[in-house]
A = this chain, B = another copy of it.
Amino acid sequence: MEISTLAKAVLRGERRALARAITLAESGRADHRAQATELLEALGQSGRQAIRIGLSGTPGVGKSTFIESFGLMLIDQGLRVAVLAVDPSSKRTGGSILGDKTRMDHLSRAPEAFIRPSPSQSHLGGVARRTRDAVALCEAAGFDVVLVETVGVGQSETVVADLSDVFLLLLAPAGGDELQGVKRGIMEAADMIVVNKADGDLKATATRTCADYSGALRLLRKRPEDPEGFPKAMTVSALENNGLPGVWDEIMALVDWRRAHGHWDRRRAEQARRWFEEELRETVLARLQTPEARQMGANLGAQVEAGQIAPARAAQTMLAAIWPEIADTPESLDAPQDSA
């Protein structure tokens, strides 16, 4: 299919065209990637913007139930919802609900929804790039809300937070010894903490968990893009369908405030610039990821760990071998300092 034909089909919101476009963007083949870039440029003029919601939560917090209930609620309000997954572990573990659409049975059958599992076999840098592209394609296809879900392996939450307009952290009620705690670095990326399973026997625990996290959030420095009261913690029961409209209201309150105060556009502009810079870095650093370089890096890394060679010397040795035109110009080491 011609790229221009595909672009038109995506713009009409055809789900098969969208799926195909995402497959192009996910491909490891250089020609596919070039086509995807061409496609994204053709679509870039649509001016459509979805609300991009990042959602993180470990296995067991009820992420699939939450997405199903939340997505169906949005569809009831007349919105179109896309759901994407980021799971750099690529092996389908218990956490990767999107590998198994049957767990979001109603949502996956709704014509207003589009659900896309995580691409398998992907390196994290690749995941970031591909997920950004998939999100942009869903926006161009006219989805109102794009939910990007992650199980939080490695740095995937950072990736998701960095392409979201609003980032939610989903937790299960827990107290005392069961409290496993939040992965370091994540609480601080959250715009909202949602404590799920506030139902039945767990209701009181959920309320207490929510209060604990409300307290912890207050200890974090306020960001300029947060209105009064954000980041905030709430309880919901996705199972009993309780509290979900409240979550959506808070998201929209946050979105409206950020739009009114210029933070929405600024955040998107900053994200775009960061993507550009990451793309540069990743392309350059890929040179350190060739099989030869990896082998050498593993050997030298082991020697460094064992204290047999100093880190700086090991780096010099490796670059001299794999990339002499870099290693031969030690001045470049100090370029940043000179103009700082």
Contact = CB atoms under 8 A, between A and B. Distances in A.
Nearest to A280: B315
B180 A337 contact: no
Interface in A292-316: 294, 297, 300-301, 304-307, 310-316
A326 B283 CA distance: 8
Contact of A319 (B33, B283, B311): B283
Contacts of A319: 280, 283-284
Instruction: Specify the main secondary structure of chain A where it touches its partner.
Output: helix
Given A221-B184, A297-B280, A333 B285 contact: no
A289 B336 contact: yes
Interface size of A as a range: 35 or more
Given A215-B215, A276-B300, A270 B305 contact: yes
Contacts of A284: 284-285, 287-288, 319, 323, 326
A244 interface: no
Contacts of A220: 181-182, 184, 187
Given A284-B288, A286-B334, 17 more contacts: A28-B337, A29-B334, A37-B312, A41-B313, A126-B336, A179-B218, A212-B215, A273-B305, A276-B300, A276-B315, A277-B301, A279-B311, A283-B326, A284-B319, A285-B285, A286-B332, A290-B332
